[in-house]
């Protein structure tokens, strides 16, 4: 079977990372996979077995997701967007997929509606017509107006065979962030969380007994890092901060931390480090959350909420019922509040198996294979 996945990440790389996890699962099952990515290149991500086609890249202007920047950082003009749209249609024609998967759209990426709708219309006109699926995470950005939810539902009804919800409904149902009508409910297929296999213990024991702090490579994590440094002398374990964003940013945080905490760049063995960590302090993105749940690590989440974003807050609140998880709102974040949350989750200890499903990639392959046959 030929599978085409379409994804555009505008800020972080979480959307692309999840799409690649799906792509690798399809490839491992013997399918031919083409992934068209419309965000900035992220060569550090694992694309084993997946043919990646880079469209003319876009990025958002920070959290202003309706302002699109081109490869040079300028405002993307109509000609640039038209070139992207044609490139995407060319990939569709060249691939001739049996299954087409759009990541997030039509529940998000409304600013790119023109290119997605052109893709969907072209796919519907193909002979044979591919089966069409939408891939979404556990929590969506809730629609700001009823009309937006209604429009998304119309597009799903007109173009999509199923909506793949990458969540375990025992933990989080789509209703937590999006209005689900009877018509939409009939299209939903819960896959479980899309996560790589659980990591084993770190062979060198790196991170054991430490408080790990991770907030990505952008300026949006600065307030979290600052609060963590302030809390370093108030918590009962040594602290290690993992700071992305390049060598200059790393050096700045190393100078700022001094001897209060060890500061280093992102590590490929992060998931193994979580196996022995005393606690994790981080935002509450999809992929990091799954790492925490799989490892059973105590966690203090500071959900990202800039620009009115609520996705991470909703996710964190849905998981706060679990032991050894605390939520510290970004508004009013202080070292003292963070230290208190860390101390409490450490006292509760590591969680045992949650019973949640993390086989979402394999289940997605099963659903698509069966329905596209």
User: What is the separation, in whole angstroms, between the first and last Cα of the chain?
Assistant: 9
Residue 317 contacts residue 332 (beta carbons within 8 Å): no
Same domain, 89 and 115: yes
Let me know whether 296 and 227 are in one domain. yes
**Three-state secondary structure call for residue 330:** coil
Q: How many CB atoms lie within 10 A of CB 164?
A: 23
Residue-by-residue DSSP string for 303-328: ---GGG--HHHHHHHHHTTSTTEEE-
pLDDT, one tens digit per residue, over 288-306 is 999 999 999 999 999 988 8
248 in a structural domain: yes
Burial track 35-48 (b if 16+ CB lie within 10 A, e otherwise): bbbbbbeeeeeebe
Question: Within the chain, which residues score under 70 in pLDDT?
Answer: 217-218, 353
Helix (H, G, I), strand (E, B) or coil at 294: helix
The three-class DSSP label of residue 200 is coil
pTM for this predicted structure: 0.86
Question: How far is 66 from 219, CA to CA, in rounded Å?
Answer: 19
- The Cβ of residue 248 has, within 10 Å, a number of other Cβ atoms equal to 7
8-39 confidence digits (pLDDT tens):
999 878 899 999 999 999 999 999 999 999 99
Note down the domain range covering 301: 211-348
297 domain residue, yes or no: yes
Give the SS3 label for residue 95.
Answer: helix
Regarding whether 218 and 100 lie in a shared domain, the answer is no
The SS3 assignment for 218 reads coil
pLDDT of residue 321: 87
**% residues pLDDT > 90 (the chain):** 82
Candidates 130, 167, 81, 160; CA nearest to 359 is 167
Number of domains in the chain: 2
Q: Looking at the domain assignment, is residue 206 inside a domain? A: no
The answer on 107 and 30 residing in a single domain is: yes
Question: Are 180 and 174 in contact, with CB atoms under 8 Å apart?
Answer: yes
Counting Cα atoms < 13 Å in the Cβ hemisphere of 33 gives: 26
CATH number at residue 222: 3.40.50.2000
| Model pLDDT, residue 309 | 82
Instruction: Single out the residue of 366, 212, 236, 192 nearest to residue 298, CA to CA.
Output: 212
Sheet hosting strand 279-282, strand order edge to edge: 262-264, 239-242, 211-214, 279-282, 299-301, 325-327
Domain co-membership, 145 together with 255: no
Task: Quote the pLDDT of residue 326.
Answer: 97
- 176 & 266 share domain: no
Whether residue 165 is found in the same domain as residue 113: yes
CB 352 within 8 A of CB 322: no
Q: Are residues 323 and 278 in the same domain?
A: yes
What's the rounded Cα separation, in Å, for the pair 149 and 106?
A: 9
Predicted local distance difference test score (pLDDT) of residue 2? 98
């Amino acid at each position: 079977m030929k599978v085409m996945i379409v994804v555009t990440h505008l800020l972080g790389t979480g959307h692309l990372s999840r799409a690649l996890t799906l792509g690798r699962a399809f490839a491992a099952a013997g399918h031919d996979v083409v992934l068209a990515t419309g965000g900035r290149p992220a060569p550090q991500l694992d694309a084993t077995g997946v043919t990646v086609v880079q469209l003319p890249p876009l990025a958002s202007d920070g959290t202003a997701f309706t302002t699109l920047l081109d490869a040079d950082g300028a405002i993307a003009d109509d000609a640039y967007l038209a070139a992207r749209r044609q490139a995407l249609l060319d990939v569709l024609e060249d691939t001739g997929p049996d299954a087409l998967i759009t990541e997030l759209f039509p529940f998000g990426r409304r600013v790119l509606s023109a290119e997605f709708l052109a893709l969907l219309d072209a796919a519907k006109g193909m002979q044979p017509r591919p089966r069409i699926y939408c891939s979404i995470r556990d929590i969506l950005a809730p629609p700001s107006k009823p009309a937006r939810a209604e429009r998304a539902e119309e597009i799903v009804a007109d173009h999509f065979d199923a909506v793949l919800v990458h969540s375990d409904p025992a933990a989080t149902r789509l209703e937590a962030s999006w209005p689900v009508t009877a018509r939409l409910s009939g299209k939903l297929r819960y896959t479980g969380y899309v996560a790589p296999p659980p990591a084993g213990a770190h062979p060198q024991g790196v991170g054991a007994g430490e408080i790990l702090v991770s907030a990505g490579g952008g300026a949006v994590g600065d307030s979290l890092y600052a609060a963590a440094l302030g809390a370093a002398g108030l918590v009962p374990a040594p602290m290690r901060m993992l700071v992305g964003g390049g060598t200059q940013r790393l050096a700045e945080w190393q100078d700022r931390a001094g001897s209060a905490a060890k500061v280093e760049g992102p590590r490929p063995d992060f998931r193994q480090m979580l196996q022995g960590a005393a606690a994790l302090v981080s935002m509450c993105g999809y992929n990091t959350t799954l790492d925490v749940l799989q490892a059973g690590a105590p966690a203090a989440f500071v959900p990202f909420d800039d620009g009115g974003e609520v996705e991470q807050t909703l996710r964190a609140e849905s998981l706060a019922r679990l032991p050894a998880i605390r939520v510290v709102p970004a508004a009013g974040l202080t070292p003292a509040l963070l230290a208190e949350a860390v101390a409490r989750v450490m006292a509760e200890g590591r969680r045992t198996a949650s019973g949640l499903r993390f086989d979402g990639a394999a289940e997605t392959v099963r659903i698509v294979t069966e329905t596209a046959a």
